[in-house]
Amino acid sequence: MSQNIIFLFLLGTLMMPSLRTSASESGFPADPVSSDLTAHTVIVFNRLDPDSQPLAETYAKARSIPSDRMIGLECPVTEEISRTDFDTKIRKPLEDIFTSRGWLKRTENFLPNPVLGLSGNVPVQQAQDNPIWIMVLMRGVPLKISEDPSVLAPEALMAQLRPNYASVDSELALLPIQGLPLYGMISNPYFADKRIRPFGQFFANYLILVTRLDGPTPDIVRRMIRDAVETEKTELTGRAFFDVRSIEKKDDP
């Protein structure tokens, strides 16, 4: 579970493929189970934020996600939370729900130490046949986990790699695995063998693709949902301009 590894799976929702799309368009394997990604998706909202559940319902309707895939948590309505609050009000409730519904079944395993700068193996509890591949966090769910001074990293680890502050998204991406260090930066298992392969059941036992629908106001989030759906119907049209000039020299025109 670690912190500084912002899993670059935190997909911008506007870039996220339609939950009903072909395998060639989405990058997911072409099989009957994964052709409908609603079967692999959950939506998480904050019950204590008055806008969070209505936004979750709007997204679920737009993407044809069943209501039983919407999960409401009661967590602080703040951008940053403590590690204790994250564990007790976000991670543990999600684990309990996943376990009670038969989604999360872990077995003992040993993984190479994923913390950059450390070697050896780490004993973990790893998911088997995890059916949840995508987790959508709604506006209202906290963003950051603050540094916990009680978590001590090994002296062998470089000082700049010892912090344990984290993003909520990256910690939840590692929900399938229990027992990883809280400190340091963790290698993204999707890129472990330096090959880009379709995300499927193998990777789902290591991590979940976590995305977030958020914005300055609820109305902006609603528009993000609506515009993404409409754009998929017509595809993008028009012109785009990219400035590729170097910015290394101050005298560049």
Strand order in the sheet with 134-138: 70-73, 41-46, 134-138, 209-213
Give 27's pLDDT tier (boundaries 50, 70, 90). Answer: very low
Alpha carbons 4 and 6: distance in angstroms, whole number: 6
**Quick one: angle between helices 52-62 and 218-234, nearest 10?**
10
- What single-letter amino acid sits at 163? P
Q: Which of 33-37, 216-220, 245-249 has the highest mean pLDDT?
A: 216-220
Alpha carbons 175 and 206: distance in angstroms, whole number: 8
Q: Is the pLDDT of residue 14 over 60?
A: no
Q: Which of 26-30, 35-39, 112-116, 178-182 has the highest mean pLDDT?
A: 178-182
How far are the Cα atoms of 78, 108, 171, 241, 251 from residue 248, in angstroms, in the given order? 38, 50, 35, 20, 9
Helix boundaries (H) for 63-163: 83-86, 92-100
pLDDT for 11: 35
Nearest to 132 by CA among 32, 40, 45, 16: 40
For tokens 């052709």, name the residue: 35
